[in-house]
Structure formats: C-alpha cells, structure tokens
Amino acid sequence: MLRVVSWNVNGIRSPLQGMIYEEPSNYAAMVVGRILDKLDADIVCFQETKVTRDVLTEPLAITEGYNSYFSFSRSRSGYSGVATFCKDSATPVAAEEGLSGLLATQKGDVGCYGNMDEFTQEELRALDSEGRALLTQHKIRTWEGKEKILTLINVYCPHADPGKPERLAFKMRFYSLLKIRAEALLAAGSHVIILGDLNTAHRPIDHWDAVNLECFEEDPGRKWMDGLLSSLGCQTGSHVGPFIDSYRCFQPKQEGAFTCWSAVSGARHLNYGSRLDYVLGDRTLVIDTFQDSFLLPEVMGSDHCPVGAVLSVSSVPAKECPPLCTRFLPEFAGTQLKIRRFLVRLKDPVFRHSALKLNNKTQVQMHQNKARVRSTRPRPSQAGSRRGQKNLTSYFQPSSSHPQASPNLELPSVGALVTPKTSEKEVMAKVVEGQASASEAKDEKEIQTSFWKSVLGGPLSMPLCRGHREPCVRRTVKKPGPNLGRHFYVCARPQGPPTDPSSRCNFFLWSRPS
C-alpha cells in the first residue's frame, strides 16, 4: 500500500516557536520527525511552509528516514512555499520545482511541459516565483507486478483577495498552467495526482454558507474545477475532466467534511468551515488503485487539517535521490555522514607518514613556544620572593594592618546603657500621636488615589452582546481602508451556523476613541 498525505501547515516552523532555543539543538528534527510519524504516510506534502532558503535549517530540512524537497518563494520572505517529504522506501526518480520548467536544472527533472505559448516568459517566471508547486516522480508496482510512473504535484494555489482583482487574475493563470502541466504528464504516459490546497470550495456541499453566497456556481475557480474534474466520480460513463476528486468518490454525500476554518473566529469548534484541500487523481488511477480517501480533522496545529489517500500499489525506490533533494544543498552537504566515518584508521602508509611527520613538527613547535614564553617571563625579585606566605603558621600571626585595641580604652558604664523608665502618660501620648499621623497619611493617600482615578479612567468594561448577554471580545481592523486600526466589539462565542444558538450572534459595536 502507498499512503499519501497533504497538509497546509500555515508555517512549518510554527510548532517550534519559543522552544527551539530552550531545547537541544536536535529538537526541531525531533518535532518534524514526530509530525511525520503521526501522519504515518509514505509521502507527505506540506503547503504554506513560509520558509525561504536563507532561513531553512538542517533540522527542518533533513529528517532521518526521509528525503525532502522544498520550493521557496523568491518574491517575499516568510510567504507561501511547499515541501515534500518522501520515505526512503519511496524515494522519487525525479523532482522538480515549479510548473513552467524555467526553474528546471536539466538533471533529474520531471519534464513534460505541454504547450505554454499562451504565457509570456515574464508571466511564467512570476507564476513560479512564489514557490507554489513541487513535482516528484515515483516508480510504482501494481498488484499484477507491472511497473508504472506516478507523478505527484504538490500545490498551494493562490488566494483571490476580493480587494485585489489582480490576484484573481493571477490565481486563474496559475490554474491554467497547472492544468496544462498535468495533462502533458498524462499524455506522456504517467499517472498523476494533484494534491494540496487548491483554495476553492468546489460544490455547495463543500462550503458552510454556500446558500448565502452570491453567484456561488459562477465563481471562476469553481468553473475551472468543473472542467478539470469528472462529474460522475467513480461511476463509469461519460465524464468532463481527466481527474477525480478522490474524497467525493468515496464520500459523495458527506456533509460537514471541511478542511479549513477561520482561526480568528474559532469556527473550528462548531465545524463552520470549507473544503479547500484535495487529493485529485487521474481517472484510471483512482478507479483501479485508490482504496480510501480521508480527512484528519482531529490533527491540530494549523487552520487546515490534513487530507490523504491510500493506493493499492507499492513504491519502487530510486537508488539515489534527485539533485533537488535538500541534503545536496551546499549548506547541508556532508551532514549525513555517519560517525564511524570519522573513526576509520589510516591504512595508507603515505597518510600515516604524513600524520607522523605533522605530529613531530607540532611537538617541536610546542616546545619552542614554551621555551620562548619561559625566556620572556620576568623573574621575580629576591625581595618579592620573600613577600609571600611561606608556612601555615603565618595565618595565625597578628596582622600589622589592623590596629590592636588599646589597653587604656575606657568602656561605658553599665548604668549608661540602661534606658531610663518612661511614664505611662508619655507612652500613651506617643501612641495617640502616631495613630493620628498614620490616619492623616492614609487620608492623603486616598485623596491621591481618587485624583488619579479621575484622571486615568482605566480600561472600559467589555460591553455585553445582545444575543447572549455575555462579555464581548475586542478586535482590530487590519484590512486596508478608512477604518484600518480601529477597534470594535463582537460576540466572544465561536462562529457557526446562524441557526445554532450556541454560535456567535451578530452583535457589533465600534469602540469609542480614547
């Protein structure tokens, strides 16, 4: 069996923040290894890694038992990015970054690019500059013993910001390039799996509020998916596109099967989300080899959950990793040597003679340095040599630096040390006087406190929402516009369906400017 898993991790370093500097140096490797072990897959595809090559560390890049491949954003730091981790038993025969072929190195690449004449070179370079696609090509063996080629396309498709129409155009051009590359690979005889965050909820069943969205079916991203996917799932007969949504193939009517939730509104508590993450396989591959397709909503750590599939094939690992493998990056090259490589005896007499010669030379140089230091060190003077402590009894001799007590020193008499008896009236008067002064100080402190309270009002109490009569939460507008930076209050409950009384009510109140 071959198990593949995809997960938008929303920053691959997120679980390491605050711990990486307090734990041993191999802690990051332990965490990544633990994540991979928990997902328990032969091939794991991560999206939105948010790392660039300059901040990629060895513990993140190289994990024992796996070979990894990264695609970085070249336009912004801490943005986008995808990574694929393959078990050594599923080592790919080829790996390539990007969809256009402009990032290919001609050695160990996947190839098969199709007709891209509709794109300019500048456009192709821009589409591949954000680190959104990574291809690995594997040899697989079916139960009949036939060997075939399987290409995995790990993608993180762009998000269309409503306030930025140019991003919608960018997203649709990325979709077009993805389809051209996938169909070219199919035409070359390879099976193809597209998996990752496609950033589109395909059907109304895949979105929590599709009924209230205007022109849901007319969205350009959904229309593109209509052309890519077969409309009849695993059923035989006519179909539109060459790929199948594997989850809907096995669970065609499952409601609430979401993979992404708003982290700010706490929508995951009430499963108020959408399905943006997919495992799409070519029609023949899904019908013949897919045994299951699943979601893992119980896995936390991101605003997305992992998705995956199980195929009834076995992987045929390559003898060596493709050049794109991170262990071949210059900054990590040589880090995979075993410790016994450093303990091998020098069998060659030439090397042994050189080592002996170097050792003798080093010893002579050390003796010369010691002699030079000894000759340049100043000798202590005869008088100075007598100034030290020579024996143990010297610690018990009276010190000349401290004057001894004079025998003629007069001590005060005992009577002078006795405090004279005070009358009870004087004692009571002092007590009353002390209480009065304390009361005056207390009154003065209260006056000061009330004054500063009138000047500094302190934080205002949270208003109560109208739906539940519970304290609200304060939010800040982060969207560019006239209200950027303004504060407002909303219901503190998690976002959910309007029909659910336990979900957030529609209370909204602007905060008064301070």
Euclidean distance between CA atoms 152 and 92, whole angstroms: 10
Q: Is the pLDDT of residue 15 over 60?
A: no
Question: How sure is the predictor about 450, in pLDDT bands with cuts at 50, 70 and 90?
Answer: confident
Tell which wins on pLDDT, 277 or 371: 277
Whether 115 contacts 124, CB under 8 Å? no
Q: Which residue has the tokens 């602007």?
A: 510
Euclidean distance between CA atoms 224 and 247, whole angstroms: 18
Residue 291: strand, helix, or coil = strand
Q: Which residue has the tokens 């997203």?
A: 171
Tell which wins on pLDDT, 152 or 503: 152
The pLDDT value recorded for residue 351 is 40
The pLDDT value recorded for residue 73 is 94
Question: How sure is the predictor about 352, in pLDDT bands with cuts at 50, 70 and 90?
Answer: very low
The pair of structure tokens assigned to 394 is 């010297």
Query: Which distant-in-sequence residues (6+ apart) come within 8 Å of 263 by Cβ?
Result: 303
Summarised one tens digit per residue, pLDDT across range 99-157 is 999 999 878 899 999 999 999 999 999 999 999 999 999 999 999 999 999 999 999 99
Question: How sure is the predictor about 16, in pLDDT bands with cuts at 50, 70 and 90?
Answer: very low
Q: Is the pLDDT of residue 438 over 80?
A: no
Summarised one tens digit per residue, pLDDT across range 302-314 is 999 999 999 999 9
Positions marked catalytic = 156, 197, 304
Euclidean distance between CA atoms 267 and 153, whole angstroms: 30
Summarised one tens digit per residue, pLDDT across range 225-253 is 999 998 654 555 555 799 999 999 999 99
DSSP state, residue 304: B
**Chain-wide mean pLDDT for the chain?**
82
The pLDDT value recorded for residue 28 is 59
Tell which wins on pLDDT, 215 or 182: 182
Tell which wins on pLDDT, 255 or 369: 255
Tell which wins on pLDDT, 166 or 444: 166
Euclidean distance between CA atoms 276 and 489, whole angstroms: 29
Euclidean distance between CA atoms 63 and 28, whole angstroms: 10
Pairing of strands 277-282, 273-274: unpaired
Q: Which residue has the tokens 């589109």?
A: 200
pTM (predicted TM-score): 0.70
Whether 77 contacts 145, CB under 8 Å? no
Whether 57 contacts 28, CB under 8 Å? yes
Q: Which amino acid is at 320?
A: E
Tell which wins on pLDDT, 450 or 477: 477
Q: Is the pLDDT of residue 44 over 70?
A: yes
Query: Which distant-in-sequence residues (6+ apart) come within 8 Å of 420 by Cβ?
Result: none
The pair of structure tokens assigned to 105 is 């190195």
Helix (H) or strand (E) run with residue 316 in it? strand 314-316
The pLDDT value recorded for residue 59 is 86
Average pLDDT over residues 76-86: 93
Q: Is the pLDDT of residue 348 over 50?
A: no
